[in-house]
Amino acid sequence: MTKTPKLKNRIEYNREIITYMLSGTESTKRLNNVNWLRHEISYTEPRTLFYIPNKEQQPYLDFNCMRNLGLAYDYILQNPNEEIDEKALLNIHSILCTNTHIDGAHYRTTEKFLEIKVNGMRMSTPKVYEVPQRLNEIFYTYKNSKDDVLHRAFKIHYELIALQPFDDFNKRTARLIMNWILVQGGYRPIVFNRRGDKQKYKDAIANYANGNKRAYYSYMQSCMVRTQEDIIKLLTKSRTI
């Protein structure tokens, strides 16, 4: 029961270390940090989360998807002070859908069920006509919340996934919005790039849906600590030119 507070302390400790390591004029370290995160978010993470073990199936993962993830991350870095609201959400989704089969920045037109189960039943999402109003409520709560940055980022990540506002690319959109909030709050993005993250990520979302929010937040924080420690190792090895 004490794991979450300990993780939060480690996150803040690591954040101070990374801030110190990136201070000064060592531009090589800064560039390596950005490039590593971009690579993990647009290349390694999708291969981890979209991987389908069945040889007869092929994951929907092509050059456009990976390029778009990188471009969306670039957009976040280039707009650190943009207000995160419905417009920002649509912008991110539009970038992710460029040259794909999905019509970007348009809300879904069909009813959906999530793969996760609540009380043994597949979790249904709000009705199509409810999506705009639910989004307004989500962003209103986010803007007026007194919770810390981590809590708000992780909470809106889950809420967007549970809402499923689009026909596809909902989880990757939710992760980018979460990371945008973290960047604005002075943190590094979280990447899900380890073996086993695909199932653990789904389990964490299911835990939240079934009322076990502590397990969800604990998993998200553990992934943040892991990402921070990877960045610290990277920065330690970086050399100025």
pLDDT value for 1: 42
Q: Place 55 in a pLDDT band, splitting at 50, 70 and 90.
A: low
Read off the pLDDT of residues 106-156 as tens digits, 9 standing for 90 and up: 999 999 988 888 877 888 899 999 999 999 999 999 999 999 999 999 999
What pTM does this model have? 0.92
Domains of the chain: 3-54+61-104+125-237 (1.10.3290.10)
In 3D space, the residue among 57, 78, 75, 59 whose CA is nearest the CA of residue 67 turns out to be: 75
For helices 149-163 and 170-184, angle between their N-to-C axes, nearest 10 degrees: 160
Q: What is the mean pLDDT of residues 173-195?
A: 97
Burial of 133 (0-12, 13-18, 19+ CB in 10 A): exposed
CA 202 centroid distance within chain: 13
Read off the pLDDT of residues 193-221 as tens digits, 9 standing for 90 and up: 998 999 999 999 999 999 999 999 999 99
Q: What is the mean pLDDT of residues 39-49?
A: 93
Q: Which two tokens stand for residue 99?
A: 């040259």
Q: What residue has token string 């539009």? A: 94
Report the alpha-carbon distance of residue 105 to residue 91 in Å, rounded: 7
Weakest-pLDDT range from 22-36, 149-163, 226-240: 22-36
